[in-house]
Amino acid sequence: MGSQLIKRHAQKATAAVATPQRGYYSRGTTITTKAKKGDAATQHHVSITYLDVVGYADYMFLDLTNFTSQVKDNGQVVLKNTLTGHQKPVSAVSWSPDDCQLLTCGLEEVIKRWDVNSGECLYVYERPGVGLVSCGWFPDGKGIVSGMTDKSICLWDLEGRELECWKGQRTLNISDMAITDDGKRIISICRETAILLLDREAKFERLIEEQEVITSFSLSKDNKFLLVNLMNQEIHLWSIEDDVEVVSKYKGQKRTRFVIRSCFGGFEQAFIASGSEDSQVYIWHRGSGELISTLPGHSGAVNCVSWNPRNLHMLASAGDDHTIRIWGLDDLQCLGGTHSNGNGNGIVHQSNGRT
């Protein structure tokens, strides 16, 4: 894999997450959309600044359609839109299924829905006396879901009409939330050591219960597995389709202070990637649990990783060194040293340090 430094930020970068169709995003109080100059097709880039528990972070979104030519040609990026309006730091961002709209959730504040092309705020979702802490889209893009400060989960249509609401201890004041592609199940962290699987149709709830504190989770593309990051520096892979059980564990990455996020990726999501506080990106084989590669390049904790859903050889990582880095297969002719990982899996990685 090769690493390209995309943007050096003023402060720590704590997330880089892939959109469903094209690229990467991050979240913020001020959101700036950018377009690559001279491209025939419309390209979207988003740079975001926000405050969270580790400080201010300036983020960049990359449209990764034809990403190789975009990055290696060092095409100029020009400002397109700046999205402003939140009164508090933004704690969560969610792209619409078609990448054309963006949800932003202010920290215990409101959710705003934006048109990415025009920069217009299309709607503000709020409930008097209750703050919103997380957001997500219906799979068909016709509604949204949110966690609330009163521990409830609510569903709205795009015009802000409340469709359903589950009250009680359904969520915590954190941003992790997911909904399956069929729209039937909502997933959220409901206690420090438990994840709620809420079946909307059957009105049935199941729990994933861990012994350690859960810091984050990620849903697989086929909606059958959940990747759960724990405070004890382990990552557990849970099967959630029939019997809820741990099917694999991944160890090696370092976590002592911050929320570190992991993701599925590669062909048929056969790999697991994670950030780490030792400045490296860790990659395991999903089935065997074997650690197959560590990618050096960052100079601070790597907080988040995101695998490109369109280009399966591309991975983004965000770190405390104020950078978001893009990793991809290299042709061995780029600047900097390259080497294989010695496991015979064909992965070659490199950090060339170019800006």
Structural domains of the chain, with CATH? 2-351 (2.130.10.10)
Cβ count near 330 (within 10 Å): 19
Cα–Cα distance measured from residue 125 to residue 284, given in angstroms and rounded to the nearest whole number: 39
Predicted confidence (pLDDT) per residue in 186-222, tens digit = 998 888 899 999 888 877 888 999 999 998 899 999 9
Cα–Cα distance measured from residue 190 to residue 259, given in angstroms and rounded to the nearest whole number: 17
The size of the chain, in residues, is 355
Cβ count near 293 (within 10 Å): 22
CB 189 within 8 A of CB 196: yes
Beta bridge partners of 284: 272, 291
Predicted confidence (pLDDT) per residue in 126-176, tens digit = 988 888 888 899 999 999 999 888 888 899 999 999 998 888 666 665 567
CB 143 within 8 A of CB 113: no
Phi-psi bin for 346: left (phi > 0), alpha (psi -120 to 50), beta? left
CB 58 within 8 A of CB 48: yes
What is the predicted pLDDT for the residue at 111?
92
- Confidence check: pLDDT of 30 > 50: no
For 322, residues 6+ apart whose C-beta sits below 8 A from its C-beta are 8, 9, 10, 11, 12, 13, 58, 300
Mean pLDDT, all residues of the chain: 72
Once rounded to an integer, what is the mean pLDDT over residues 273-291? 92
- The CA-atom distances, in angstroms, between 36 and each of 113, 255, 354 are 23, 36, 18
Once rounded to an integer, what is the mean pLDDT over residues 316-342? 56
